[in-house]
Amino acid sequence: MDTVDRLIALDRQHVWHPYSAMPNPLPVFAVRAAKGVRLELEDGRSLIDGISSWWTCIHGYSHPRLNQAAQRQIEKMSHVMFGGLTHRPAVELAQKLIEITPEPLQHVFFSDSGSVAVEVAMKMAVQYWHNRALPHKHKFLTLRSGYHGDTFAAMSVCDPVNGMHPLFNGLLAKQYFADAPQIRFDQPWQERDIASFEALLKAHHQQIAAAIFEPVVQNAGGVRFYHPEYVRRASELCKQYNVLLILDEIATGFGRCGKLFACEYAGISPDIMCVGKALSGGFMSLAATLTTTHISKTFASGEAGVFMHGPTFMGNPLACAVALENLRLLESYDWPAKIAAIEAQLKAELAICRSLKAVKDVRVLGAIGAIELHQPVDMARVQPQFVDRGVWLRPFGRLLYTMPPYIIEPHELRQVTAAMYEVAALL
């Protein structure tokens, strides 16, 4: 491979990127290496990654502790099958996850991506009711503006508009959609916000296996921060109507919103929880679905006698070893103080964006800062404007947002927020 131009030309010809078209995809930038908060491009430019490679690399790239954990594990084995075999990395990571998640969650099912963790959660819920001789409970209740992944079951509970349901009409299971929560994180709670959720439960609980949603922050569905009381009330209603609660903490988990898990804001524990994204610190693809003993113990007596799922690369030792080190790393410093500092800086520095005519709203929670625009952004135009300012961001829809690595320094975050202001000012 010779020049950077040729690399990009070949990429454009053959390589399909996320949410893009062939054969004339949106522009891409070639990365040569990444270290700390920085991406180093093939053309020599250096960018501060303001979205942590889709919210994953919370401790930055090429962290020495994660690299060492991977190297140590490679010397032993990078992968073995998980059927009939087990290993220290998976067992120790499971123990760690059980220790840091709410107490009722006692069992961990590993998988290789968030979407699959959601599929597993949904299958678990359906099979649970099957085990309890209530097989007609196989529908799901979810929230508008949600996002849970790109596979078919996950897509069925994504927002029907953003999730492009009409495209797969007939293939997607029909689920129940409550109105998206409207009361914001810091506004006074009003009971009417939960009315649509409650009405759907009341009318259809006999068909519903579980409610599934992202607690407190709907991320890919529009970076919406909503009231924790919604989560608490939803949890209460699920119990009342004999419906399981699945919380998708794939984006919110591991400190991003200021608590280790967003459900802590509501003081509740789900029946099933999905984690992914930041689990391995962005090092490798790894996800997990956690559940309670109450759920798991019904499986042995059910018709199948087992839970019917088992990915080939389940519990990959290399990914588990790195994830375990990532969680130890997270525990090794005062991350809540770091998130609080990022939050305070984002609030202070993004506030002036409110005065821009293209801007509809500015909001910040934990290490998430979003500028909502009146009009959708033209990615092909906006992306290079960020790159020109030495910053990597990936706006979508009407949102310019940042979810920086926790290790970002104030002067680096300052460069990100300045770029957000400048780009929004050009709109």
Ligand X SMILES: *Cc1c(COP(=O)(O)O)cnc(C)c1O
- As annotated, the binding site for substrate includes 54, 147, 277, 310, 394
**Min separation Cβ 68 and ligand X, Å:** 25
- Catalytic (active site) residue 19: yes
Peptide bond into 384 cis (omega under 30): no
Helix (H) or strand (E) holding 292: strand 287-292
Segment interacting with ligand X (CB under 6 A) among 29-37, 212-220, 292-300, 328-336: 212-220
- Residue 231's alpha-carbon distances to 84, 235, 269, 397, in angstroms, are 38, 6, 10, 26
Segment interacting with ligand X (CB under 6 A) among 90-98, 142-150, 350-358, 377-385: 142-150
Binding residues for pyridoxal 5'-phosphate: 114-115, 248, 311-312
> CA-CA distance, 325 to 176, in Å (whole number)?
39
Residue 43's φ and ψ, nearest 5 degrees, are: -85, 10
Tell me which of 61, 128, 147, 226 is the catalytic residue: 147
Segment interacting with ligand X (CB under 6 A) among 60-68, 143-151, 168-176, 229-237: 143-151
> CA-CA distance, 10 to 167, in Å (whole number)?
30
> CA-CA distance, 170 to 14, in Å (whole number)?
31
SS3 state at 137: coil
**Min separation Cβ 8 and ligand X, Å:** 25
CA quadruple 394, 47, 281, 406: dihedral sign:
negative
End-to-end CA distance of the chain: 38
SS3 state at 159: coil
| Kind of pairing between the strands at 391-392 and 224-225 | unpaired
x-or-dash pattern for ligand X, window 260-299, by CB under 6 A? Answer: ----------------xx----------------------
Return the residue of 119, 193, 214, 412 that touches ligand X, per CB under 6 A. 214
- Catalytic (active site) residue 137: no
- Catalytic (active site) residue 265: no
The letter for the amino acid at 291 is T
148 lines the binding site for ligand X (CB under 6 A)? yes
Q: How many residues bind ligand X (CB under 6 A)?
A: 15
x-or-dash pattern for ligand X, window 111-130, by CB under 6 A? Answer: --xxx--x------------
Tell me which of 49, 112, 193, 248 is the catalytic residue: 248
Active site (catalytic) residues: 19, 147, 248, 277
Contacts with ligand X by CB under 6 A lie at 113-115, 118, 147-149, 214, 219-220, 248, 250-251, 276-277
